[in-house]
Structure 1
Amino acid sequence: MILRSIALASTLALAPVAASANWQLDPSHSAVVFEVEHLGYSNVTAVFPEVAADIESFDPENLENASFSVTIDAGSITTFWDARDEHIRGGDFLDVANYPEITFVSGEITRTGDDTAEITGDLTIRDVTQPVTLQAKINKIAPSPMNPDQQVAGFTLTGEIDRTEFGVDAYAPAIGTVLPVTINVELNNEG
């Protein structure tokens, strides 16, 4: 769910940019979004708006050596319905009082095309760590039209997460267990 910036940062390695670049997540143009099936009647959309990313190494000539980590504020989750959000933050689901963060640490990055990559890493929810694979697409890497000295990189990552693998198994399977995840990310580089 929160894998977004992490996987996106890795994808940067697919574009021709400087290895020493100081890339930072632009939280105003990034979101981790997922859906949960509700009793077969509908899908509920959820968003984690508070995400931080550390890009520890990045070399476009050596993609496999890129590494990054992402931290998501689990309590920031919103489904746009306050009572449901409080329930999800509670012990049945995320238990944010005991597990306030969700993290992703990158592992292997494999180029799959000119503007695509597969990113694997370790996702931790409620102190349970499982391997996760995301498909990444580079949308665009170019100077900002508002500040030509600033490079901007945009990515979309997609994948699925089985919440029960992380001990988040309340009401399964009536409430969906496999969650489709879409992560839209922008990164900025001031040079």
Structure 2
Amino acid sequence: MPFRSLALASALALSPLAVLAAPWTLDTGHTHVTFSIDHLGFSTTQAQFRTVSAEVDFDPDNIEAAQVAFTIDAASFDSNLEARDNHVRGADFLNVEEYPEITFISTGVTQTGEGTADVTGDLTMLGITKPVTFQAELRQIAPSPFNPDLTVAGFVVTGEIDRTAFDMGYGAPAIGTVIPVRVDLELSPSDQVSTQ
């Protein structure tokens, strides 16, 4: 099967290839942004952001034309412990009152294999923008088994973020600084979604 990847590229950028891609809609009910943090060397804390949105242009046959911008509601941080969640939302970490959103706008994609690609883009957190690279893997693109008129593309995107690069140094290095990130997501063509 040809590589049909979500290429995380800027929905705000304009390029000659962009006109070839068509809008796709993120299925937020099947999209999860999760990550893990080393806790003092004793354990690994699992957490997630519960609210995420995206603008996606995607041509399954031309990954160079794909574009996307992700926005995360920083206050939707959830580690299953209220006291910790409130601390992380505060000034020591995410400072959600001053910086309510985390955004990713990609700038390029490089195919690395059959169904895989490296995706580079600009991550903005705490008002600081840094280039980061994620690895995208296509799980499947096919008609939904419950609705053959609806095409679904599923991806896993993984990578690492150094929180200290965004001036989030609280507790370092006892609390992990390099954060493994995983995004599981599903997309469908917007014109198909609108008719369902």
TM range (shorter): 0.7 to 0.9
Q: 1:10 aligns with which of 7, 10, 17?
A: 7
Distance 2:61 2:102 in 1: 30
Aligned to 1:27: 28
Is the counterpart of residue 111 in structure 1 residue 111 in structure 2? yes
Cα pair distance change 1:170/1:182, threshold 3 Å = same
CA deviation after TM superposition for structure 1 residue 22, in Å: 3.4
Q: Deviations over 1:74-94 (max 9, x none)?
A: 000100001100000000000
Give the secondary-structure state (helix, strand or coil) at the position aligned to 1:28.
helix
Change (3 A) 1:72 1:136: same
Q: Is residue 170 of structure 2 the alignment partner of residue 173 of structure 1?
A: no
Equivalent position of 2:64 in the other structure: 64
- Give yes or no for contact 1:11–1:117 (8 Å, CA) kept in 2: no
Query: How far 1:20 moved relative to its partner?
Result: 5.3
Paired amino acid for 2:7: S
Structure 2 unmatched runs, 5+? 10-19
Alpha-carbon separation, structure 1, partners of 2:27 and 2:184: 11
* Matched residue, 1:3: none
Residues 117 and 136 in structure 1, CA contact (< 8 A), matched pair in contact too: yes
What 5-or-longer segments of structure 1 have no aligned partner? 1-7, 13-18
Task: Indicate the residue corresponding to 1:5 in structure 2.
Answer: none
User: Does the CA-based 8 Å contact 2:158-2:182 persist in structure 1?
Assistant: yes
Q: Once the 2 structures are TM-superposed, how far is the Cα of residue 149 of structure 1 from its aligned partner?
A: 0.8
Q: How does 1:38-187 map to 2 (within 5 A)?
A: 38-55=39-56, 57-187=57-187
Residue 148 of structure 2 aligns to a residue whose secondary structure is: coil
Amino acid at match of 2:148: P
TM-score by length of 1: 0.88
Distance 1:22 1:64, change over 3 A: closer
CA–CA distance in structure 2, aligned partners of residues 48 and 60 of structure 1:
27
Query: Deviation of residue 111 (structure 1)?
Result: 1.0
Cα separation, 2, equivalents of 1:21 and 1:123: 24
Q: Is the 8 A contact 1:11 1:137 kept in 2?
A: no
DSSP 3-state at the match of 1:91: coil
Q: Which runs of 4+ in 1 moved over 6 A?
A: none
Give 2:55's aligned amino acid. D
**TM-score normalised per structure 2:** 0.85
CA distance in structure 1 between the partners assigned to 2:40 and 2:59 by the alignment: 45
Q: In the alignment, residue 188 of structure 2 is paired with which amino acid?
A: N
- Residues in 2 aligned to 1:73 and 1:104: alpha-carbon distance in whole angstroms: 12
Aligned residues: 177
CA displacement 1:3-60 (0-9 Å, x = unmatched): xxxxx74269xxxxxx5543111111110110000111001001011000001x3334
Instruction: Tell me the secondary structure at the aligned position of residue 110 of structure 1.
Output: strand
CA contact (8 A) 2:8 2:68 kept: no
